[in-house]
Amino acid sequence: MSARVHAAGLGVRFDFDRQQRVVSPTLRRLRRRGATLWGLHDVDLDVGPGEGVALIGPSGSGKTSLLRAIAGILPADAGALEVRHRVGSMLAVEGGLLGALTGRENARSLCVLAGLTPAQARSGATELSERSRLGTAFDRPVATYSEGMRARLGFAIAESAQPDVLVLDEIFEALDHEYRQVVEEHARDLRARGGIVLVAGHDHEALGRICERAVALRDGRIVADGPFAEVVSAYRGGA
Amino acid sequence: MRHGTLRRSRDVLLALALSDFRVRYGRGRLRIVKWLLDPVAALGVYLLLVALVLDRPGAAPGLSIACAVVPFQLVMMTAVNALRCIESRRTILLNLAIPRGLLPLASTVTESLAFATALLMPFAMMAIYGVPLTVSVLWLIPALAITILLAAAIAYPAALLGLWLPELSTFFVSVVRALFFLAPGLVAYDTISGDGRGLLPINPLTGLFETYRAALFYGRAPAAWELLVPTGAALLILALTVPIFRREQPHLAKIVTGGR
């Protein structure tokens, strides 16, 4: 495994119309233009095999946009982004879950969307049920789940695609103490195998347990990048 | 396109369609009831309108109407589904990098699955009116293919409209519904007279409805234009809208985030 994330001058732009709705480039040409906001601006980041990087910063600083760009969800409007090998993502507690479907149905569907074959998704459902520790709730509609149960299922699905790069956004906040340990163990195990873990959130204590490096963002730009304790300390001092 | 890419696209398409199908149509016995009731209700309304309210003459009006209502149901339901195909998968789009160009096609597959039971309606009507089954029923195969192609063609502009101007969704549905009434939906093409008759074949639904009638009602091969007009219209719409949707699809997540 030689996972790598490399961003050079990365920018992600949001164009708004005059009603403050985000518009696509095609629609931007047809409508009278409103404001333009760079969600990410001139981001340089290099993450190598075995690294765990925490993204910290105030809400709206660009953490989620950076993770979404790395996961291939948002396109790069400026600069270049290279992500080597398979990405597993959990970028919201819902994690792509559909409330009307059961945990099992969601798992089968999302595992296929994440890159498994339908046969792999079917055969892996029982193991995924055990890993999520949902018990009989696995066959109940997800709409009946608590936030923590959704986070467990979402994480188990993200893990089942056996990613080389795992990106997690603010999931610790939704998890109970017991399952946090499971996530932390998985993250450490992935790093030990040469994978990459990128995780954003406000629970710095939890982030510090799986990341030795931190990147601080503000207004879509990287303002600090270095050892976790130093960056967090500087961020807290300056926040 | 490589075999692996095609297989992956097929897997993603089915995963999207099946999950959407479960969300929209539920599960268990109630789903079957809903499947059966949808086309029966639509057919029943038009049948009452033609046979009782308008008192139009003609043989086997139920079968004639079923030949129009059944394919129209697929086109209409696909349009409605596709209008929300991006918003309804918001959580997926914001969490996974999936082949987003398949979303309108997934709407077509979902509604095609639901459409399967509606196909029983024309055969039920044939039995009720004593219309014999002939070898022309084989024309139902190209008719079905054209219906699905036309539904897929409507799905792409519908998805774009739902993305760009969601406030015009109701207007779009009204336009599609108007196409039904501007085609020989309630009465067969042969029974229509007047100045407007010559213009009806321009509407792709005219050829589609008449193809079903040829296969199931008249027991003959459909005329060439009845097959070619809807096929050509579908291909033209796809040629115009698929490239636009492909250009838009990298930005779908950006739009559904609302810039947050």
What domains does chain A contain, in order, with CATH numbers? Answer: 49-76+86-238 (3.40.50.300)
What integer pLDDT is reported at residue B227 of this predicted model?
95
Mutation target vs A (from B10, B14, B96; most A CBs, 10 A cutoff)? B96
Coil, helix or strand for B4?
Answer: helix
Sorting pLDDT into bands at 50, 70 and 90, what band is A238?
A: low
CB A217 within 8 Å of CB A63 = yes
Tell how strand A4-17 and strand A33-47 pair up: antiparallel
A239 interface with B at CB cutoff 8 Å: no
Instruction: Give dist(CA B222, CA A150) in Å, integer.
Output: 54
CB A55 within 8 Å of CB A215 = yes
| Burial class of residue A237, CB neighbours in 10 A (0-12, 13-18, 19+) | exposed
How are strands ordered across the β-sheet holding A165-169? Answer: A87-90, A165-169, A196-200, A52-56, A213-218, A221-227
Instruction: Give dist(CA B173, CA B175) in Å, integer.
Output: 5
Which pTM was predicted? Answer: 0.85
CA B218 to chain centre: 23
Measured between its terminal Cα atoms, the distance across chain A in Å is: 37
What integer pLDDT is reported at residue B259 of this predicted model?
58
Coil, helix or strand for A37?
Answer: strand
Report the chain A residue with the minimal C-alpha distance to residue B91: A96
Report CB contact under 8 Å: B15, A95. Answer: no
In chain A, residues 114-133 whose CB comes closer than 8 Å to chain B:
114, 117-118
Sequence-ordered list of residues with C-beta below 8 angstroms from that of B27, at least 6 positions apart, any chain: none
Instruction: Give per-residue pLDDT as tens, B4-20.
Output: 788 888 999 999 988 88
CB B47 within 8 Å of CB B65 = yes
Burial pattern A161-193, b for ≥16 Cβ within 10 A else e, equals bebbbbbbbbbbebbeeebbebbbebbeebbee
Report the chain A residue with the minimal C-alpha distance to residue B88: A98
Sorting pLDDT into bands at 50, 70 and 90, what band is A13?
A: confident
> What average pLDDT score do residues B47-59 get?
68
Q: Return the closest-CA partner of residue A55 out of A238, A237, A230, A222.
A: A222
CB A16 within 8 Å of CB A37 = yes
Tracing tokens 């879509």 back to the chain, one arrives at A220
Measured between its terminal Cα atoms, the distance across chain B in Å is: 35
A143 interface with B at CB cutoff 8 Å: no
Range of the domain at B205: 3-257
Measured in residues, chain B has a length of: 260
What integer pLDDT is reported at residue B177 of this predicted model?
92
> Count of CB atoms within 10 A of residue B102's CB?
19
Instruction: Give dist(CA B149, CA B108) in Å, integer.
Output: 9
Percent of chain A with pLDDT strictly greater than 70: 98
Instruction: Give per-residue pLDDT as tens, A69-127.
Output: 998 888 888 898 888 888 888 887 777 888 888 888 999 898 998 888 898 888 888 88
Instruction: Give dist(CA A80, CA B159) in Å, integer.
Output: 29
> What average pLDDT score do residues A117-146 get?
85
CB B154 within 8 Å of CB B242 = no
Give me the number of domains chain B comprises. 1
% helix, strand, coil for chain A, step of 5: 40, 30, 30
Least confident of A207-221, B53-67, B72-86, B97-111: B53-67
> Across chain B, what does the average pLDDT equal?
86
Report CB contact under 8 Å: A75, B23. Answer: no
How high is the ipTM of this complex? 0.84
Strands (E), chain A: 4-17, 22-23, 33-47, 52-56, 78-84, 87-90, 165-169, 196-200, 213-218, 221-227
CB A180 within 8 Å of CB A206 = yes
Nearest to B19 among A24, A101, A117 (CB): A101
